[in-house]
Amino acid sequence: MTRLPYIVNSSRPPFFPPCLEPDEHGLVAAGGDLSEAVLREAYSKGIFPWFVGPPVMWFSPDPRAILFPRELHVSRRLARTLRRRVFSAGFDTDFERVIALCAAVPRPGQDGTWICAAIREAYTRLYRRGLAHCVAVYRDDELCGGLYGLSLGRVFFGESMFSLTADASKIALYHLVERLKRAGFLFIDCQVPSAHLESLGVRTVPRDQFLELLKKGLAFPNDEGVWR
């Protein structure tokens, strides 16, 4: 018999009890909303929203894909591109355009996007609160790549990236990693593994280990506000 997910009540914290276990797809809960309080608690417990229509579906997959900043793999091609300095990167610039393009730019093997209007609105609110951040990559002053995610403690939760030009999203990730290294961040949560992420140095760890690492990262104060 298929186990039904836990139903989130957005009016009664805690929203996610500690006993939640993922099913074979990583699903742990359904329902609730995308308010700041619910999202803060979800990420602090290793849970993230991922859905294409109501209700909201909440996931905490096992294993979990993470990137330790010092393990980012910079290929020779990417290193040459960085040395040429034909791209520039900005933190927390053009957030709404970055998230919109993350939703709009097609990806191989994907039909449509999970970054719906409700997701864009929710993370834009978090950006205005200094919790969500983006890296925007420009060439000749034109936005051509970027990424966005959420920061809690010394953990960055990567949500999505896009490229309009070859390597632009990788350049965004490079600049994010350099900033996170300087700020002492422990790791980037990449959520679900893929061949592309593994080529960049992302590894998978068991969910229990991920939650232990997350607990250590959340022991630090939040790096809130606009990133420069």
pLDDT tens digits for 79-121? Answer: 999 999 999 999 999 999 999 999 999 765 555 578 999 999 9
CATH code: domain of residue 17: 3.30.70.3550
Range of the domain at 26: 6-61
**Which of 25-39, 93-107, 176-190 has the lowest average pLDDT?**
93-107
Q: Is the pLDDT of residue 1 over 50?
A: no
Residues 90 and 165 reside in one and the same domain: yes
Contact 147, 227 (CB under 8 A): no
Strand partners, 7: 30
Q: Classify residue 223: in a domain, yes or no.
A: no
Q: How many CB atoms lie within 10 A of CB 30?
A: 16
Q: Classify residue 224: in a domain, yes or no.
A: no
Q: How many domains does the chain have?
A: 2
> Final residue of a domain: which of 35, 61, 87?
61
Residues 96 and 195 reside in one and the same domain: yes
Q: Classify residue 227: in a domain, yes or no.
A: no
The average pLDDT across 39-64 equals 95
6: helix, coil or strand? strand
Residues 126 and 80 reside in one and the same domain: yes
The average pLDDT across 135-139 equals 98
* Stated pTM of the model: 0.95
Residues 14 and 53 reside in one and the same domain: yes
Q: Measure CA 124 to chain center.
A: 14
Contact 136, 146 (CB under 8 A): yes
